[in-house]
Chain A
């Protein structure tokens, strides 16, 4: 038990070799927060006797109530190593004192974005795995992410008591189980080999296992008698100090980690002073700070900007340059210069103000919340050449949406303010407004939305009542085949004609565009290489892509197939503008288009420039795009979740019947070796997922708990143009909701005849 003051902490912060930034990641209910608490107990913030009961990092009432972590929380720990223990440590160090900045993250898939935000600002990850349940879908997801961010993972097998109490296995079998778990984890990591990170699996994990093995063996003796279980737990608790030691040994210090992470972090040239400052973790260098999330402060409406200092120092009163996510170097867009009011270090439930924070540490800043939505890069006021730190990539996407409105119309300003705060408080939630004027909140899943709505009403709107709509899922519009004929539309003055055809993009191409492998910013040569080699495109054709859309980056494109047309380059901008517009609001239900390639087949234009201006061509391009979409067997795409359920055998029947009823289908069912548990993977349409987990719980008497993660877009086979079909009904519903005419605009409105 070490009592430490803020000053003491601050002192260690300067020893960059003695800092460890790490996050605790795992599948839901594998015991992250509890483990974190025991670590906190070992580092001496809370009293030993309450550890395990009071989750130090679950600061919210609803977190405690539901027993799950919702927001990630950071704690700074202090640990002093003995000289003896450090003998074998080869790395650089400054004395025996160590500072561990720990971030506990949520395990539920709906809150994966919190994990992403936590990983960005840490260098190591403690992967916690339940010894019975083993590596689950979320373990896999977060581990992938950690490796993508070049975070060094260490593995902890938790809940060993379950192994003995529930499964009644003996020591040897248990040992086998652990080994399997670890192997599973290694399999995932093997796919992500990274030369700079080093060979993660062998060097780091096997010693770890041995360490655990040792602890375990001592457990075994006690275990023969069942009532001694409690003592096992106590033997486990000291293991937390072993864990702390292990982190110090095997996790990199910021100065080590930033050497190889700089490539992943910094967007600018890797040889400028900013990159070097990050690489060397230089406290004297220019400030580079990444704000990864905003944390609501106790005074309502304000937020702490929580992030990591990668280089330089941030201090109270410092004027910083805030580069938002849309900042482009050399422009004024999304750029502010403001001063930091206070720098704070965060310790679970309390915050301590410090004078300054040097690189390698996590920090919370006061006074910047009115300029940062979710994340930003901060640097010194004068550092105008600095590029921002790369934006985070989330593993989940906000596919479930609800419309909210206030019960009392005059509360609207409150709602607007509340939504603004909600958008800030969560790295994933998107607050937007629909064409119809409805406010929309989009989240990763039902639970995520539920928490968001609760926060909105209680914390951000002061309890003003809101009405929420049923969850709404956004669809995509696509085509099944090539247009049955070349369609033509005439401009309003009838003097210009555009001929077009639509066809589906090759399989996998839309995903490649989503992932950014193909995009508007590509080198045309590289693009045509990928297109011709992977997707069988003609080399020349690949050079004739006019644009992507919607938003210039979406998974649809316009390709020029014309031969020898006069003035074509003149109308390109207008066609592109019409395409951006049309691909955002498809002809069926004004949903985004996806995976459609529009081919401009021929163009007839008026000889006078004034008669083929934007006014004539933009609306015409939009109409001909709609016409070609309708003639190419349009279809709807619906979002589909990947569901993972873990349940005992007797619950399987219930799971299957619920899945059947909800249009889901199981594609994998395996028994966990050595356990009576089954792992089921299934696809489930997002539309059907509302109320899925409660139905499932009811059908399996609470034994099955699903984890849903957006997986892909699935084409609905029914034809939306055929009245009475399921897709047509869906289209009508969407149109009704959006306040459009219920009847789709007929083809004759878009297509003209010669």
Chain B
């Protein structure tokens, strides 16, 4: 009920969104899983940007194919109006007819957009059109991935000579190994996607033994960071298995992106045409997306730093969108200077000083950051009195903040969870470090007070009636002194709690669990207020917006969802990751959400329209921690490979790699001023990095920004300011207090 206050006009746009989306909701995640995902947000914002035009024209076909599928579905369900709108907006009128008439599975994508080469290759191959690949009625509501499966797999149905696959592959391998060094590194990128696709094709066509032999022969050639994928592939030898494997379906649906210089590409093309290696050329055309650039071929290290994800590299144009990474203007709050400050200032003339102080505060916030979004771009809740008080507290604390730097490292305070037999899975601190929450594998959430002040519940309704509501200390009187204790347990989940997040006003706590729900808890009554259902699969992480009200969650269903606390349905669904969304964070200005995934990629989503505005690849393992720098400009990410990567959000570039940890990084946090990045890992260490230096060292000139070819200096050792061990306590969470004391938390592991 309290949220009604900020449901003003501003919210209209956001509120309407889910209703509009409802009609398409079932199909949306699948449809959008090709990575462009323009639909969900655009419907809400009312404009539809045209699908990105690319060199080969292949992605466009892909989109059209999906759009046609949607149209068919809508038509079947008699949603003629929607059909009209969608057709109009996607400019599909003519194409659609031809497509539906054409109707044959393998060739349907060619239409008018396919280029000559692909046509040629297609003709030369006996394309046995799979009967189910026509857009037959699709069972939408039953199974999640069903609609795509047949379509997806049908692409593998062309029959080459299976015995020749090894020959094809090794001839390509020989070619690549024989080319000039500068091209070899680039062309070597082809190995992995080709290998996977050829293997899957063999499996799909029931050549089990040939597939095994193929795997045996060439799996050793792949880069070591694909080990995990290879392990999955290795076990998969039957067509039936393929149908149920979502990860590989995704691999197929999305085109693996390679970035190759024009020279290298020409070299490859010439070779394949000379040798009539149509099988491989076909795969390249069908399943790969080659992002051709002009200029020098990239070196091996450059390629390696960006590759490793499940979907290849980032397409350059994806990261071109403008991101308003600046911070929002701070609301103007009259800061009553407290007495001690007054005394200090009396010496130099009280009134004058006071004025300057106010001005400095005001000027900082009044000047609009050119990179900041419009203040009301996303409707934000109005500040309550208590929020203002907290802001004042925050400012007071900030004046006492310790300035950190390489010479002045923070003190570390370790919060060890003892006797956590049930398994500590998630930790969060409130911003003012007064409360500490732990999520446990036994489905409980526990809240501790990190200060001597005990936790108290509000009295029961009957008792509340007896209170004199006019009294000054009514807020104190409503608390039930009998319930005071150092910690409170919250029961409600039916599975391990994988994520917890405090609301900025400390009144609420969110928890996400394996049971598929996100729960909102009141920290006044210590009861559950809402259970947000929607993910239907384990929810790996959740995070409150820095302004409250909104929160984001991500889970095993490979989408992240944006929620508002007073809506039981999500406002946005961010779909595009090829695998589980493992961690989610809000940007400091609340206009963006970042998600990390098991597919080893990071995506930044615009809350306003649901677009994916940044797509970062380079991690070699699932991403388990993310942190924005306090100024909103940079992002740090940590993964199971033990590396921290730093990203420039504005330019969409990787700007640093911090190597040192030997195990999964579960916690990342910037100090309050952003000078220090702290990382905590399973290897029982906290490491402090000189983030200032890392950001300064990286020159982001226009060229690198344009091409995205970065040279990462290998300076992890210089940037490492300190490494701190705990004896046997993996670091689960890190937090900087308002005065820049570093708090670390983890469960003591007695084994």
Q: Is the pairing of A and B real?
A: no
